[in-house]
Amino acid sequence: MNAPKITDSAQLVTAILEEKERLNADRLFILTDEHTDKLCLSILDCPRLEPYCHIEIHSGDQNKTLHSLTAIWDMLIDEGATRNSLMVNIGGGMISDIGGFAAATFKRGMHFINVPTTLLAAVDASIGGKTSINYQGLKNEIGTFSQPDAVIINTDFFASLDRKNRLSGYAEMVKHALISDKELFRQMMAYDLETFDMSQLRVLIEKNISVKHRFVRLDPYDLGSRKALNLGHTIGHALEAYSHRSQDGGLLHGYAVMWGLVAELYLSCKKQHLDKEVLLQMLTFAKENYGAFPFTCKEYEEIYRIMVHDKKNDAGRICCTLLAGIGDVRINQNITKEDTFEALDFIREN
């Protein structure tokens, strides 16, 4: 599992061609959605990549489906892809998830590399080898653990991201800092999200990538220490899933994770004696940047019901990752219904 590389638009094409040569791949397939085709693929010197076959699918998590997957497989078959062909996934987490799954299962596995175009995909989804599609309304229900042959990050792509998608990715970056390093957390809290300075962000991205890569390398199949990366996600996933039922379009993943982080830091203070200052700092940061907490106490029961069905649970008990301090992670902590309601009340009442 190689560490992700960071490049710019000019170097990216060279990096893709080098991977093709290193893997001795016979053909190149480029997967995009309609946005990453227009905003990302189009700013690359594509003639240098020729000959290649472009596969485009509809954007958004609602299209991370069996239908899109079969469209990719069909195109690979029609164009004569082999096990030795290379798929390049140019897009956000939706594209790396479904493109990775398509490649991992095509003829029992062809080469693939991820070229993330969202901040969330760069620091999180493109790294770690989890591939998937949604199925029967369940998120990431069908998938594999399949490591990409490479991850190549071009920070130039982030210039076209809207504010919400920038903030969504930033929430995962804050999580990485919380589970790893006080100094990184300080830097993350100090970064000005309004100006979104790219050179400072690039430094933070590099540190974030190494955090994610380190946890994945130690526990590639998510059996133990990698669960640190679930911080904020037990409650966050339930808020996200619930929001998709009751609100227009639902919350972006990172917004739900941000509220999940505050809730789970509250529980960390209660159960693991985390310093309250960390919790208060995160609460202020979330309110200033992610807006008001969008749920009422009437919605807790339903949110809790979703948590009970989470695939991270163990024998019917809700399993959560908590912190005893920044970088001091406690996995497999049981939390109760009362704990969950109390944590949500804390956010709502503050």
* Chain residues in the site for ligand NAD (CB under 6 A): 33, 35-36, 39-40, 59-61, 64, 91-95, 97, 117-118, 120-121, 124-125, 128, 130, 140, 157, 160-161, 165, 168, 253
Nearer to ligand NAD, 230 or 268 (CB): 230
- Give min distance, CB of 206 to ligand NAD, in A: 19
Residue (209 or 283) nearer to ligand NAD, CB: 209
Q: Least separation, in Å, of the C-beta of 59 and ligand NAD?
A: 4
- Tell me whether residue 190 is exposed, middle or buried, using C-beta atoms within 10 angstroms of its C-beta: 0 to 12, 13 to 18, 19 or more: exposed
| CA distance from start to end of the chain | 43
Smallest distance from the beta carbon of 147 to ligand NAD, in angstroms? 11
Q: Report, in Å, the least distance between residue 253 CB and ligand NAD.
A: 5
Please, are residues 33 and 94 in contact by the beta-carbon 8 Å criterion?
Answer: yes
Q: Output the smallest distance, CB 151 to ligand NAD, in A.
A: 12
What is the 3-state composition of the chain as percent helix, strand, coil, each rounded to the nearest 5? 55, 20, 25
Task: Give the span between the Cα atoms of 77 and 16, in whole angstroms.
Answer: 22
Q: Which is nearer to ligand NAD, 165 or 268 (CB)?
A: 165
Give me the least distance between CB of 162 and ligand NAD, in Å please: 7
Smaller CB separation from ligand NAD, 94 or 103 = 94
The nearer residue to ligand NAD, 215 or 293, going by C-beta atoms, is: 215
8 Å CB contact between 240 and 31: no
- Alpha carbon dihedral 330, 331, 337, 338, in 10-degree steps, equals 0
Here the tokens at position 223 are 């059996």
User: In the block, which residue shows the tokens 């991977």?
Assistant: 19
Residue pair 198/155 in contact by the 8 Å Cβ criterion: yes
Question: CA of 48: how far to CAs of 13, 21, 31, 44, 210, in Å?
Answer: 7, 14, 17, 9, 30
Pick 4 or 128: Cβ nearer ligand NAD: 128
Q: Minimal distance in Å, beta carbon 296 to ligand NAD?
A: 26
- Cα dihedral: 100, 208, 195, 261 (round 10): 90
Contact 172, 120 (CB under 8 A): yes
Tell me whether residue 61 or residue 264 sits nearer to ligand NAD (CB atom): 61
Q: Which is nearer to ligand NAD, 128 or 250 (CB)?
A: 128
In the complex, the smallest distance separating the C-beta of residue 157 from ligand NAD, rounded to whole angstroms, is 4
Rounded to whole angstroms, the Cα distance separating 143 from 160 reads 30
Ranked by CB distance to ligand NAD, the top (closest) residue is 93
